[in-house]
Chain A
Amino acid sequence: MRMWTIARKDLLTLRRDRSALVFTFGMPIILTFVFGSMSGGKGDSGSVHGLKVLVANQDFGARGTESIEAMEHAGLKAIFETGGKEAIEKRIAKGDFVVGVVIPPDFSQQFDASLTDHNAPHAALEMIVDPADTRVSGMIRSVVAGANERLVVSSVVKQYPDAALALLNRPSVDLNVLNAKSSELTPGDVFLPGFMVYFVFSLANGVAATLLGERQEGTLRRMLISPVSRAQILGGKLLARSILGLIQTALLVGIGVQWLHLSVGQAPIGILVTAGTTIFAACGLGMLMATFGKTMEQIQGMTTMFLLLLGFISGTLIPRALLPDWMVKLSYITPHAWALNAYQDLIQRHHTLVSTLPNIAVVAAFGIVFFSFALARFKFE
């Protein structure tokens, strides 16, 4: 009951703080609209220079290598995977890569056969893409297709001048795109998971500010003098921020469904669980950050910069596929990355809540660690 009294007071205080309201609810909505409108979620433009493609070259001939060279010539960076298709699928599912290409053992044989025999089956590459990142995978897909077409044309022109004209009329390397059943992601599917994580973590700023503000103004001391435990005070504050976080997430999901065609059909409970866990971790982070500053100015400057930094390195603001390798690895030290994984599993990969529970568990673990350190460090007096 007393916890609810504290939560209600916090919500009433926030309701009268227009700038905080704008930041908590207005900014996420505006940014979602802006980014959602800017991209159709299809992502077929932009530079591919340096984008990484996992390649498993099982070809016994030379054409496989030539295909890889053509892709690299087009600006892609081939990362070789010796474990075959299964290993590529695992690494993509983990989120380390967006696209993988498997060059089958008979690629050269079929490639060369198709140059002289128009009835021979086309050489085919298997492309495995992460449905969670259609923007980048779409770009890479186009480049791989284009690179192989150039390979075909140059080979034909060099070695089989007679066949060149005929070959130019049809593709001789097919791209069999796998894992693409949900590749038609909407702008909501593409942008909202990152935004839902980033903006919920921005609650940490509010948690830090309210704790420090109450300590500075003496109201925290006043609450401590009353028959209210420290756990109840913190619980009340957590409750208030949880309500805010859930409203914020609900607003984003509502807008996503209404205007950006967000797909939540199979995952509403999963989204709720992920949101709740993320809010818990965000509040823990906010409380921990409150222990590092002495003044409100220090706290607000520090948390704003820190949260922005976490947003960038975690992949919530920039797709992880566009980050350098070391930063992708680094992203997993942030709770954001795991929460993002959970949302992407649920919304983009159509996983079940159970199958993404490991991600949610990591987010919860971050929250527990944050709260533990914060409680050990926070000076109520």
Chain B
Amino acid sequence: MSSNSQPIATVRDLRKSYGSLIAVDGVSFDIQEGEVFGLLGPNGAGKTTTISILSGILPPTSGDVSVIGLDTKTGGAPLRMAIGVVPQELAIYQKLTGRENLQFFGELYGIQGAALSARVTEMLEMVGLTERADDRAADYSGGMKRRLNLAIGLMHNPRLLLLDEPTVGVDPQSRNHIFEGVRALNKKGLTVLYTSHYMEEVEALCDRVGIMDRGKLIACDTVAGLIASLGGSVIEVGVDASEKLDQVADRLRQMPLIKEVELTAAESEESETPRVTISVRTQQPNRVLPPLVSELAEVQASIHSLNVREPNLEDVFLTLTGKNLRD
């Protein structure tokens, strides 16, 4: 993070409702200039609505939102020039080539002539599409289209880039391209708001993370800070599914050293028997492990794996909302 601690965007008590549906409910956060700020949450959490309001195309029902000090409702052209948006959907013209797509959107931002050509070349190189620049976007792979989608959002050299789930449906190669591109741009000073429901992406990229659920921002801190707020470790035990496991979980929850117990269905290629992962969060794994194994032995559960790890953002989300990110 190359933050100089100046907020480039400020969101205060933001609300957006559609009739009785509340999409965003009293959200407040700042994005510091130079940081990568993540918004993590499941589908329908309100991330895209927040981005739409930040980009100025959706008016808030109430609350104040400003970018580079300009109100998003009245900021006009200076505000729009400062913001680049990479939408979740592939907002590109399939019948135009990659180069023509970039030229078109560049012209909309007032870039012309030699400056336009140079910027198009630069963006094509950055997203690795130089060799396919003159092919129609319709002939690109899904990953290439995603990269073009990203390049369009960067054409006018914005100060704040809003990335809305940019890796949905992307192959690993293109995902790495996008990650590397975002990191490189951030090193050059670009501020990024990155939304995702992939915990790993947010952990890997973001300096700070806001966790959203059902329109509310339920936590906001650095990744380390959020994880530290949970503390302890997570013990994961893989076992064959059994009706008695619920009773085991209930008994484990009674133990004072255990903070949280969760049963999740696990897939196994080795066995046709359904399997379950028991996740136990505790500050003292060494003291919890023996009674845990003992409980499982008592119901004659067949243990296939045992793992002790540090908590992650998924655990943070689970603790805060009682459900998984991908539920």
Q: Write the residues of chain A forming the contact surface with B, with a CB cutoff of 8 angstroms.
A: 2, 5-6, 9, 12-13, 16-17, 217-219, 221-228, 380-381
A13 touches B91 (CB 8 A): no
Which of A16, A224, A380 has a CB less than 8 Å from the CB of B95?
Answer: A16
User: Across the interface, do A221 and B91 meet the contact criterion of CB distance under 8 Å?
Assistant: yes
Instruction: Write the nearest CB–CB distance from A25 to chain B, whole angstroms.
Output: 18
B100 part of interface (Cβ distance < 8 Å): yes
Of B51-59, B281-289, B295-303, the stretch lying at the interface with chain A is B51-59
| B110 interface neighbour in A16, A225, A227, Cβ under 8 Å | A227
Q: Which residues of B contact A217 (CB under 8 A)?
A: 89-92, 94
Q: What are 25 A-B residue pairs whose CB atoms fall within 8 Å in the complex?
A: A2-B107, A2-B108, A6-B108, A9-B100, A12-B100, A13-B93, A13-B96, A16-B96, A16-B136, A217-B90, A218-B90, A218-B91, A219-B91, A222-B152, A225-B55, A225-B57, A225-B80, A226-B80, A226-B105, A226-B109, A227-B81, A227-B110, A380-B57, A381-B57, A381-B58
In the complex, A16 Cα to B92 Cα: how many Å?
15
Assess the B96–A12 pair: CB atoms within 8 A. Answer: yes
Contact check, A17 vs B89: say whether CB atoms are below 8 A apart. Answer: no
- Expressed in whole angstroms, the minimum distance between the Cβ of B193 and any Cβ of chain A is 14
User: For A218, what are the chain B residues with a Cβ–Cβ distance below 8 Å?
Assistant: 87, 89-91
- Provide the residues of chain B in CB contact with A12, threshold 8 Å: 95-96, 100
Contacts of B156 in A (CB 8 A): 226
For B52, B85, B108, the residue with the greatest tally of chain A CB atoms inside 10 Å of its CB is B108
Say how far A295's CB is from chain B's closest CB, in angstroms: 15
Whether A223 lies near B108 (C-beta < 8 A) is yes
Cβ-defined partner of B108 (8 Å) among A13, A17, A228: A228
Q: Does B21 contact A (CB under 8 A)?
A: no
6 new A-B contacts, CB < 8 A, other than A9-B104, A227-B80, are A9-B100, A13-B95, A218-B87, A219-B91, A221-B57, A221-B91
Smallest CB-CB separation from B86: which chain A residue?
A222
A221 to B56, CA, bound (A): 11
List residues of B whose CB falls within 8 A of some A CB: 52, 55-58, 76-77, 80-81, 83, 85, 87, 89-96, 100, 104-105, 107-110, 136, 152, 156
For residue A219, which residues in chain B have a CB less than 8 angstroms away from its CB?
A: 91-93
Q: Residues of A contacting B109 with CB < 8 Å?
A: 226-227
Closest chain A CB from B173 CB (angstroms): 24
Closest to B152 in A: A222
Query: What's the least CB distance linking A2 to chain B, in Å?
Result: 6
Q: Are B90 and A5 in contact (CB under 8 A)?
A: no
| CB-CB nearest in chain A for B57 | A224
* Cross-chain contact of A17 among B80, B81, B85, B95 (Cβ < 8 A): B95
Min CB gap A262→B, angstroms: 35
How far does the alpha carbon of A12 sit from the alpha carbon of B137 in the complex, in Å? 14
The distance in angstroms between the C-alpha atoms of A327 and B56, with both chains bound, is 49
In the complex, residue of chain A having the shortest beta-carbon distance to the beta carbon of B56? A225
CA distance A12 to B93 in the complex (A): 11
Query: What CA separation (Å) do A17 and B96 show in the bound complex?
Result: 11
Minimal beta-carbon separation of B99 from chain A (angstroms) = 12
CB of B57 within 8 A of CB of A9, answer no
* CB-based nearest B residue for A218: B91
* Residues of the A chain whose Cβ atoms lie less than 8 Å from the Cβ of B52: 381
Given the interface contacts A9-B93, A226-B105, does A221 sit within 8 Å of B77 by beta carbon? no
- Shortest beta-carbon distance, A160 to chain B, in Å? 80
Contacts of B87 in A (CB 8 A): 218, 221-222
State the CA gap A222–B57 with chains docked (Å): 10
**CB neighbours of B110 from chain A (8 A):** 227
Across the two chains, which residue of chain B brings its CB closest to A217? B91
Minimum Cβ distance to chain A for residue B46 (Å): 16
With a cutoff of 8 Å between Cβ atoms, the chain B residues found around residue A228 in the complex are 108
The distance from the CB of A244 to the nearest CB of chain B, in whole angstroms, is: 16
Q: List chain A residues, Cβ under 8 A from B152.
A: 222
Q: Closest residue of chain A to B52, judged by CB? A: A381
Compute how far the CA of A218 lies from the CA of B145 in the bound complex, rounded to whole angstroms.
14
**Residue with the greatest number of chain B CB neighbours at <10 A, chosen from A16, A226, A228:** A226
Which residues of A sit under 8 angstroms from B80, Cβ to Cβ?
225-227
Please report the C-alpha to C-alpha distance between residue A221 and residue B91 in the assembled complex, in whole angstroms.
Answer: 8
Q: Are the CB atoms of A225 and B85 closer together than 8 Å?
A: yes
Which residue of chain A lies nearest to B79 when distances are taken between CB atoms in the complex? A227
Complex: chain A residue closest to B94, CB-CB: A217
Contacts of A226 in B (CB 8 A): 80, 105, 108-109, 156
Task: Please indicate the chain B residues that have their CB under 8 angstroms from the CB of A224 in the complex.
Answer: 57
Given that A5-B104, A16-B136 are known contacts, is A222 also in contact with B85, CB under 8 Å in the complex? yes
In the assembled complex, the Cα of A16 lies from the Cα of B108 at a distance in Å of 21
Closest 9 CB pairs of A and B: A218-B91, A227-B77, A218-B89, A226-B108, A222-B91, A5-B107, A227-B80, A16-B95, A13-B95
Q: Complex formed: what's the CA distance from A113 to B93 in Å?
A: 81
Contacts of B91 on A, CB cut-off 8 Å?
217-219, 221-222
Query: Smallest CB–CB gap between A298 and chain B, Å?
Result: 19
- Please name the residue on chain A nearest to B85 by beta carbon: A225
A233 (CB) vs chain B CBs: closest residue: B108
Complex Cα spacing A16 to B55, Å: 32
